[in-house]
Amino acid sequence: MKIGFIGLGTMGMPMAQCLASGELNISGWDTNSQCRSSFDHCAQSIEQLSEDTDVFITMLPEAKHVLAVVDQLLEHCAHSGCLFIDCSTIDVDSTRQLAERLACHGHGFVDAPVSGGREAAEQGTLSFMLGGKSEDIQRARPLLEIMGSKLVEFGQSGSGQAAKACHNMICGITALGVCESFALADALGLDMERFFELCKGAAAQSWILENRCPVPGPAPDSPASNDYAPGFAARLMAKDLGLAQQAATSTGQKTPFGEAAAARFQEFADKGDGELDFSAIYQTIRG
Ligand code: NAD
């Protein structure tokens, strides 16, 4: 079995490395030459990557990138019966259209967005939210189990992305709550390390708080302690919260906190800080 992995960025690189260390036949591709040179198993072109490949895995920023790459792959992929696994975070409607389009070409499709960040990608402990036909999910499982420790099936195509939109709305709202509370704690003159240690083991604990503490210092490995290098870029947080708002509009469910968080992160990204980790929004809150 040959695997083609497209998108070797913050997340895709460690995920592809996990698969490569499992001694699978894997070939990678990214439009960014720096990413290509950091991965030992890169193809010379996307055409070359498509040759004799059975499973394509995409880990790309947005739906437009996924759709463009799938177009290229369909152009160059000679045989039918391939499996496409999209681990990017994109919208539910584009995902369903993609699944139908691939089915017309005789290919299987699984939407498999992830949670856990770069650390989990490096350790092979990502959580996957899965949508698709059960035979396609069964085919994808052995590969996903190398990259992740938790696989949750939600049903038809697009339902993995639906779960991801709701999941990331929790993360975005929580991030703002953590930032605002740390800003107040700082304004009140509290020691940031002690406050962090308190929250870590108390009712305020969350993954966001522990792994993306927004002030430099208390968590040495956090983006905040490393010039806010992502991590999870603020532009991607803005995008994901926008996807949750798209889903809220399509269902008629009101999500005012999610709406406010989406606007706040979008504003932050539009002002030019989108490449920083999302926890950098703290600086605009503390002032
Ligand atoms: P990233 O921007 O670091 O990486 C994306 C990579 O895709 C880049 O290297 C880029 O050069 C490449 N790319 C873009 N267009 C391409 C094309 N047409 N062909 C080939 N390569 C192309 O993004 P990331 O942080 O790795 O996130 C990827 C996806 O995973 C996003 O949808 C994001 O929302 C989601 N996600 C990210 C995290 C995180 O913590 N970073 C966590 C969960 C989910």
All structural domains of the chain, each given as residue ranges with its CATH number in brackets, are: 2-156 (3.40.50.720), 162-286 (1.10.1040.10)
Active-site residue identified among 2, 64, 133, 164: 164
pLDDT of residue 77: 80
Give residue ranges with CB within 6 A of ligand 1: 6-12, 29-32, 35, 59-61, 65, 68-69, 88-89, 114-115, 117-118, 232, 236, 240
Nearest to 94 by CA among 72, 63, 59: 63
Q: Ligand 1 mean position to 87 CA, how many Å?
A: 9
pLDDT of residue 28: 98
Start-to-end CA span in the chain (Å) = 53
In Å, how far are 15, 32, 76, 126, 269 from 212, measured between CA atoms? 21, 27, 41, 17, 18
Q: Is 164 a catalytic residue?
A: yes
CA 242 to chain centre: 14
pLDDT of residue 22: 82
Model pTM score: 0.95
pLDDT of residue 79: 83
| Contact criterion met (CB below 8 Å) for 54 and 80 | no
| Contact criterion met (CB below 8 Å) for 56 and 84 | yes
pLDDT of residue 219: 96
Index of the ligand 1 atom closest to the CA of residue 90: 32
What is the tens place of the pLDDT at every residue in 33-68?
A: 999 999 999 999 999 999 999 999 999 999 999 999
Per-residue pLDDT of the chain (287 residues; tens, 9 = 90+): 999 999 999 999 999 999 999 889 999 999 999 999 999 999 999 999 999 999 999 999 999 999 999 999 999 886 889 999 999 999 999 999 999 999 999 999 999 999 998 999 999 999 999 999 999 999 999 999 999 999 999 999 999 999 999 999 999 999 999 999 999 999 999 999 999 999 999 999 999 999 999 999 999 999 999 999 999 999 999 999 999 999 999 999 999 999 999 999 999 999 999 999 999 999 999 98
Residue 203, SS3 per DSSP: coil
What is the tens place of the pLDDT at every residue in 122-159?
A: 999 999 999 999 999 999 999 999 999 999 999 999 99
Q: Which residue among 11, 47, 73, 115 has the greatest number of ligand 1 atoms within 8 angstroms of its CB, and so is best to mutate?
A: 11
Q: Ligand 1 mean position to 198 CA, how many Å?
A: 34
